[in-house]
Amino acid sequence: MKRRDFLKATVAAAIAPQLEKGRPQQPKAFELDEKTIADLRKSIDDGKETAVSITEKYLARIEEVDQSGPKINSIIELNLAALDIAQSLDRIRRVRGPMFGIPVLIKDNIETGDKMQTTAGSLLLEGNRAKKDAFIVNRLRQAGAVIIGKTNLSEWANFRSTRSTSGWSGRGGLTRNPYALDRNTSGSSSGSGAATAANLCCVSIGTETDGSIVSPATTNGLVGIKPTLGLVSRSGIIPLAHSQDTAGPMCRTVRDAAILLTAIAGKDPSDPATNAIKDTENYVQYLNPSGLRGRRIGVGRQFFGFNDQVDAVMEEAIRALKGAGAVIVDPVDMATKGAYSDTEMEVLLYEFKADINKYLAGLGPNFRYRSLKDLIAGNVRMRAREMPYFNQELFEMAQEKGPLTDKKYRDALAANHRLSQREGIDAAMDRHKVDAIIAPTGGPAWTTDLINGDHYAGDSSTPPAVSGYPAITVPAGFVHGLPVGITFFGRAWSEPVLIKFAYAFEQETKVRRAPRFMSTLELGLG
């Protein structure tokens, strides 16, 4: 089969949702399993691999695992030019940059100025091909990365219905968790999480408004970084809410996450939030295995208690932090936890309407859907394919909101920032004199239920999300074979410190295990 025919065939196979019964077909051993950016770069430098050979191997792995074999269905579209891009890189005599020749997958709400579409998983945006790369995609290409495709996601970044199923989109179908195929990936960066865990790429990019990087990272046994708002440009990314949106790395190791964050961070004239960046950092310099020694780490006990087995993993993690030399301060509570739940939703509804209307208007006068009102009507017209399991209550609630000049919006936004920043994370860290706060990222993956929607138990993503402060999740352990993570979060622009802590914890524990594409019954949970 010709190369382009092979790629087109695998794209077509990825579109239909897959929910097979019985024992999943196990993929063969993969020679690039768990390979890091450094591993692949060394193989290129040593002449053992080329950008083309590595790209070919990942594309074959995608065909075997994503569309054949276990069918995790994490890729929504492959890049038909991926091998051409890799070939052009191989013609460069001097290898440049730490991501030279590294295959990367990006979420399908991030624009690429090529033949790939950008749809946020919605059938309504089929045919939306951007005229240019998103800022972060341009940064990746400059670093030498090979964009091999786009990943499925919870449609519209999981902001369409109050009882949606994470990992499902009208265009892409349902993404499955490679650790237990009948369990959920979480979201909304579902495909990025599942694909990276399953070694369908070296690293991937997700986006987050509240939990959409860190939650699928924990359920897929990954490292995920939700950066400080403004560290990573949002231009060229389909918006949800500008006061909380960001993109970030989803990787199997902290080192890879630091390399990827270095590649995508930077000032962008098209995103004023990035003007707050003082200096361009190389985050790899903060990878210190002794980075926890003597540092005060606060335990966010308010985020415990939703699952006894997760609590047990966290207690083991706290012992590991002590073993790495950290001074544990327990508990470190935030007086305002939960105080901004209502105002967060108010802000998201207002901003989604304003931001998506602006984005759609920018697609040009010939694009069919020019506003949120048009999307709502389009979903009704395509109800059989777009709303077979859940509706669009959040779309309808957002449509009822007024402009961003409304006092109700401005008051809610001010409350969000005051309660989550000055009176929230900052106050707790000041009071207890801690360098970071830890908490369970979330619970183990739940069984997917397309009829009733998600039923996750607990998380810790909201304070960093609403404040715009950074958070990093790292694999911490397993509950009946299902991964769970620990989150480190802290003040604005504290990525260097958090990366240092996350790396030291990772090196102390090294708990990540690759998925085995099992079922709940095979894990002994049925």
Q: Dump the DSSP string for 114-129.
A: SS----TT-GGGTT--
Contact 83, 3 (CB under 8 A): yes
Contact 158, 210 (CB under 8 A): no
Which amino acid would we find at residue 5?
D
pLDDT score for 10: 38
Q: Is residue 266 part of a domain?
A: yes
- Of 410, 464, 5, the C-alpha closest to 208 is 464
pLDDT score for 4: 41
pLDDT score for 436: 99
Which amino acid would we find at residue 435?
D
- Of 332, 506, 336, 509, the C-alpha closest to 435 is 332
Helix (H) or strand (E) holding 256: helix 254-264
Q: Rounded to a whole number, what is the distance in angstroms from the first to the last CA of the chain?
A: 41
pLDDT score for 128: 97
Q: Is residue 58 part of a domain?
A: yes
Q: Is residue 168 part of a domain?
A: yes
- In angstroms, the CA 398 to CA 400 distance is 5
Q: Which residues contact 22 (CB under 8 A, 6 or more apart)?
A: none
Q: Which residues contact 132 (CB under 8 A, 6 or more apart)?
A: 111, 113, 138, 236
Q: Is residue 25 part of a domain?
A: no
Put simply, whether the predicted model's pTM sits higher than 0.85 gets the answer yes
pLDDT score for 21: 46
Residue 161, domain CATH: 3.90.1300.10
Catalytic residue list? 107, 188, 212
pLDDT score for 349: 98
Cβ atoms within 10 Å, residue 421: 19
Q: Is residue 130 part of a domain?
A: yes
What's the domain count of the chain?
1
- In angstroms, the CA 172 to CA 386 distance is 11
3-state secondary structure of 442: strand
Q: Which residues contact 282 (CB under 8 A, 6 or more apart)?
A: 262
- Of 60, 57, 58, 72, the C-alpha closest to 26 is 72
pLDDT tens digits along 418-453 = 999 999 999 999 999 999 999 999 999 999 999 999
Which amino acid would we find at residue 51?
A
Contact 492, 282 (CB under 8 A): no
Q: Is residue 8 part of a domain?
A: no
Q: Is residue 190 part of a domain?
A: yes
Cβ atoms within 10 Å, residue 127: 9
Residue carrying structure tokens 């209502």: 342
Q: What are phi and psi of 206, to 5 degrees?
A: -120, 180
pLDDT score for 26: 82
**Which ranges of the chain have pLDDT less than 70?**
1-25, 93-95, 526
Segments forming the whole domain that contains residue 415: 33-340+411-509
Q: Is residue 280 part of a domain?
A: yes
Contact 508, 304 (CB under 8 A): no
